[in-house]
């Protein structure tokens, strides 16, 4: 992207897609001095990435930076399940850094997959990426007890509303059974205010303490999110 094109984006952000129902907007603009592309649902930032050559190794969203650090800290994470695809930015970051690993993404909206392919560089031919178009709660119920994942990432939001059925005690118990012995559950949680952990996050942690041996709340840079981790290993 030329300097002139970046200047124009800075002055006037560009909408590159708007869904017929107007819920979803994909917008190009300038953030942190770099061109970015955002996926918005009812004006809530659901996904985003830098449009330059570093977009797949330098997460735009702070919570994705935290998830990246978690996967780098635990080198034995080889097989990850992600619930909620959105713009499919994090799976690309995950595989760019660790092309030998595998990730399965559960997304209930097939239209988002097509948008991710067209606007967010998603390569559905990557043999290390599996996409299942299905309801997240149903997938968890159908695969409880598999014990095949090293990590499960929850990022299932519609706008600012989480898929609460997936965060129910019943579902959390099943996700525990989907993990390997020292597997890690990582929940992307939205803070009540900047740097203020929401009561819902503390309540979820209390539930997780009944299921997992260890829990931890990791604050994300910027203060808008935190990652709620749970595992039977020390974290």
| pLDDT per position as a tens digit, 159-196 | 888 999 999 999 999 999 999 999 999 999 999 999 99
How confident is the model over 39-61, as a mean pLDDT? 94
The predicted model scores a pTM of 0.95
pLDDT value at 220 more than 80 = yes
For residue 3, what are the contacts with CB-CB under 8 A and spacing of at least 6? none
Give strand pairing partners of 149.
179
How confident is the model over 20-44, as a mean pLDDT? 96
Average pLDDT value over all residues in the chain: 95
pLDDT of residue 30: 96
Q: Which pLDDT band, with edges at 50, 70 and 90, does 45 fall under?
A: very high
- Encoding tokens for residue 181? 């012995």
pLDDT of residue 76: 96
CA distances from 189 to 111, 143, 150, 152 (A): 24, 24, 20, 14
Cα distance between residue 224 and residue 62, in whole Å: 8
How confident is the model over 75-86, as a mean pLDDT? 97
Cβ density class 123-158: b for 16+ within 10 Å, e for less: eeeeeebebeeebbbebbeebbeeeebbbbbbbbbb
Is 106 exposed, middle or buried (CB count within 10 Å of its CB: 0-12, 13-18, 19+)? buried
**Contact, 37 vs 119, CB < 8 A?**
yes
pLDDT in tens, 97-148: 899 999 999 999 999 999 999 999 999 999 999 999 999 999 999 999 889 9
How confident is the model over 195-205, as a mean pLDDT? 97
- Encoding tokens for residue 37? 């592309």
How confident is the model over 195-209, as a mean pLDDT? 97
């Amino acid at each position: 992207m030329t300097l002139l094109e970046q200047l124009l984006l800075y002055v006037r952000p560009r909408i590159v897609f708007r869904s017929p129902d107007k819920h979803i907007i994909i917008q190009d603009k300038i953030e942190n001095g770099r061109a970015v592309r955002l996926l918005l649902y009812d004006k809530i930032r659901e996904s985003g990435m830098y449009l330059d050559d570093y977009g797949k190794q330098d997460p735009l969203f702070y919570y994705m930076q935290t998830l990246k650090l978690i996967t780098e800290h635990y080198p034995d994470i080889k097989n990850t399940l992600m619930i909620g695809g959105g713009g499919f930015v994090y799976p690309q970051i995950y595989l760019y850094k660790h092309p030998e690993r595998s990730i399965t993404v559960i997304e209930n909206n097939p239209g988002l997959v097509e948008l991710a392919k067209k606007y967010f560089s998603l390569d559905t031919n990557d043999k290390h990426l599996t996409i299942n178009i299905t309801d997240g709660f149903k997938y968890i119920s159908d695969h409880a007890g598999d014990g095949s994942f090293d990590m499960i990432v929850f990022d299932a939001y519609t706008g600012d509303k989480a898929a609460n059925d997936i965060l129910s005690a019943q579902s959390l118990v099943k996700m525990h059974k989907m993990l390997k012995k020292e597997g890690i559950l990582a929940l992307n949680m939205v803070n009540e205010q900047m740097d203020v952990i929401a009561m819902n996050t503390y309540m979820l942690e209390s539930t997780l303490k009944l299921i997992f041996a260890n829990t931890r709340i990791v604050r994300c840079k910027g203060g808008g999110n935190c990652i709620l981790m749970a595992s039977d290993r020390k974290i």
